[in-house]
Chain A
Amino acid sequence: MNFDVLWFVNLFPIVLPALELTINMSLMSLVLTVLLSVFISIIRHFRVWGLSQFFGVYITFFRATPLVAQLFILYFGLPSIIPAMKSMSAFQTTVLALTLNTSAFMAETLRAAIESVDGGQLEACYSMGMTRYQTMVRVVLPQAFVVALPSLGNQFIGIIKGTALGFTVGLADIMAKAKIAAALDLRFFEAYLCVTLIYLVSVVCVEKIQGILERRLQKFC
């Protein structure tokens, strides 16, 4: 078999420094996704006229089209119409694409989780004189998050793997580093195996953290 073990091992010190970029992109996209999807799910839950319909179309569009197409539209297409977008870096555009894409899925997951909180608790809150906002923030969302946590974990994993698309717009992430090294020495199997292993270990770490979080939060469910 033509597998150069030494080349494979030596690739790790070249690729691993770029992991920081992947982690930064993933965490930033995750934070923005959570904020955006909480906002959308509340709008959709309360059926706020106008915004609810708008986000309905948004969800359909971003769920129905491939992430890579969305990224290209944002990076290559829109800046030609919207000059302000020209100043956006490849990093920012990738984070934006991942956020918009994942939020479409996460908003629906969260909306379902919000609706799973039983109405009796809401009645109790209202009867005590709590406002809808207080009820949402103090009672509904904390419980909805626990219900949604397993799928939120899935979607975060999707984000981590999605960052690999960054190299298509010129980002030097782990995928790009490996691909460049592979092209130089024509060692594609070793290079992609190296990247695959790095993603695998990263995702296993996320799964572990998710498991701990679930156990901690589920004490009341």
Chain B
Amino acid sequence: MITIEHLKVQFGETVVLKNVDIQIANGEVVVLIGPSGSGKSTFLRCLNFLVRPVEGKITLDGVVVDAKTVSKREIDRMRLKTAMVFQNYNLLKNKTAIQNIMEPMVTVQRMNKKEAEAVAVSLLEKVGLLHKRDAYPKELSGGQQQRIGIARALAVNANVILFDEPTSSLDPELVGEVLGVIKQLVAEHNKTMLIVTHEMKFAREVADRILFLEDGGITAMGTPQEIFENCSNERIKRFINTINSN
């Protein structure tokens, strides 16, 4: 269970998130949509403290963190409970596909190499890239890199996976393979997932709940049906129509 109370993020004078409150149940798949600059990615990054909120309280699996008094140790604990898939994949360039997946297991969880390798091999199989186990990131296509990124996020065995626009950097023809892997995860796992995306059809298929963010706040939320079909909010309708017509 994730509980976020009065979350506020500010960069200099600019307030990026203001007073965000939300609860997310275990195993829930939440998709965040909204225009650029609305604070979706920032919201996600607050959960693993890549962005440090100025105010607010985050409770994640019993770990309670107050933004004002947060310690390094609390940040580390928070990070162990979450895993992130990045827009630009962010694979470690000096490591092969399998080493990228093994990295958190070996360095953070102190698992022995053999065990970590076995887990990594099974994850590579899951994302359909076992034949690329020894390839370096530069030898992989964007879609392949992102699938390795997803395998790496699964390797840490966190309860919460954060997807930060996982397909935004991909060529249109590669988007499908990555969305396919995420859909498979949603179907197989009972993990909590927060996904920022502009893929409306995908959002509709996987989400238990959709959040619409604008101007640093959640302005609407509901089931995919409520947001996509029965929405009375003109702003959201316009946003979805614009995205769909592109």
Inter-subunit contact A128/B94 (CB<8 Å): no
Q: Which of A177-216 contact B (CB under 8 A)?
A: none
Q: Does A76 contact B (CB under 8 A)?
A: no
Q: How large is the interface on A (under 10, 10 to 19, 20 to 34, 35 or more residues)?
A: 10 to 19
B61 to chain A, nearest CB (A): 15
A14 to chain B, nearest CB (A): 47
Q: Does B80 contact A (CB under 8 A)?
A: yes
The interface size of chain B toward A, counting residues with CB under 8 Å, comes to 25
Of the stretches A55-63, A82-90, A134-142, A165-173, the one at the interface is A134-142
Number of A-B contacts (CB under 8 A): 64
Q: Does B48 contact A (CB under 8 A)?
A: yes
Q: Does A7 contact B (CB under 8 A)?
A: no
Inter-subunit contact B50/A143 (CB<8 Å): no
Q: Does B214 contact A (CB under 8 A)?
A: no
Q: Does B90 contact A (CB under 8 A)?
A: yes
Inter-subunit contact B108/A129 (CB<8 Å): yes
Of the stretches B81-89, B176-184, B194-202, B230-238, the one at the interface is B81-89
User: Given A138-B107, A220-B137, A220-B138: A127 and B92 within 8 A (CB)?
Assistant: no
Of the stretches A24-32, A117-125, A150-158, the one at the interface is A117-125
Inter-subunit contact B156/A128 (CB<8 Å): yes
Q: Does B165 contact A (CB under 8 A)?
A: no
Inter-subunit contact A126/B79 (CB<8 Å): yes
A121–B137 Cα distance when bound, in Å, is 12
Q: Which of A73-114 contact B (CB under 8 A)?
A: none
Contact partners of A139 in chain B: CB under 8 A: 92, 94-95
A129 to chain B, nearest CB (A): 4
Q: Does B136 contact A (CB under 8 A)?
A: yes
Q: Does A23 contact B (CB under 8 A)?
A: no
Inter-subunit contact A130/B93 (CB<8 Å): no
A60–B94 Cα distance when bound, in Å, is 33
B219 to chain A, nearest CB (A): 28
A128–B92 Cα distance when bound, in Å, is 12
Contact partners of B108 in chain A: CB under 8 A: 128-130
Inter-subunit contact B86/A124 (CB<8 Å): yes
Chain A interface, DSSP helix/strand/loop, else mixed = helix
In the complex formed, the residue of B with least CB distance to A127 is B84
Inter-subunit contact A221/B104 (CB<8 Å): no
A138–B94 Cα distance when bound, in Å, is 9
Which residue of A124, A129, A130, A142 contacts B94 across the interface (Cβ within 8 Å)? A142
User: Given A129-B156, A219-B136, A220-B136: A123 and B104 within 8 A (CB)?
Assistant: no
> Per-residue CB proximity of B130-157 to A under 8 Å, as 1/0?
0000001110000000000000100010
Which residue of B104, B137, B138 contacts A128 across the interface (Cβ within 8 Å)? B104
A139–B86 Cα distance when bound, in Å, is 17
A85–B205 Cα distance when bound, in Å, is 75
A123 to chain B, nearest CB (A): 5
A138–B82 Cα distance when bound, in Å, is 21
User: Given A128-B103, A129-B76: A143 and B90 within 8 A (CB)?
Assistant: no
Q: Does B91 contact A (CB under 8 A)?
A: yes
Q: Which of B91-106 contact A (CB under 8 A)?
A: 91-95, 103-104
Contact partners of A221 in chain B: CB under 8 A: 93, 138
In the complex formed, the residue of A with least CB distance to B72 is A131
Inter-subunit contact A143/B94 (CB<8 Å): yes
Inter-subunit contact A121/B90 (CB<8 Å): yes
Contact partners of A130 in chain B: CB under 8 A: 103-104, 107-108
Which residue of A124, A138, A142, A220 contacts B90 across the interface (Cβ within 8 Å)? A124
In the complex formed, the residue of A with least CB distance to B96 is A220
A139–B94 Cα distance when bound, in Å, is 7
Report, nearest first, the 6 A-B pairs whose CB atoms are least far apart: A124-B90, A128-B104, A120-B90, A220-B136, A129-B108, A127-B84
Identify 7 new A-B residue pairs, CB closer than 8 A, beyond the known A120-B88, A128-B83, A130-B103. Answer: A120-B86, A121-B93, A123-B50, A127-B48, A127-B50, A139-B92, A221-B93
In the complex, 5 of the A-B residue pairs with CB atoms within 8 angstroms, ordered by the A residue number, are: A121-B92, A123-B90, A124-B92, A128-B107, A221-B138
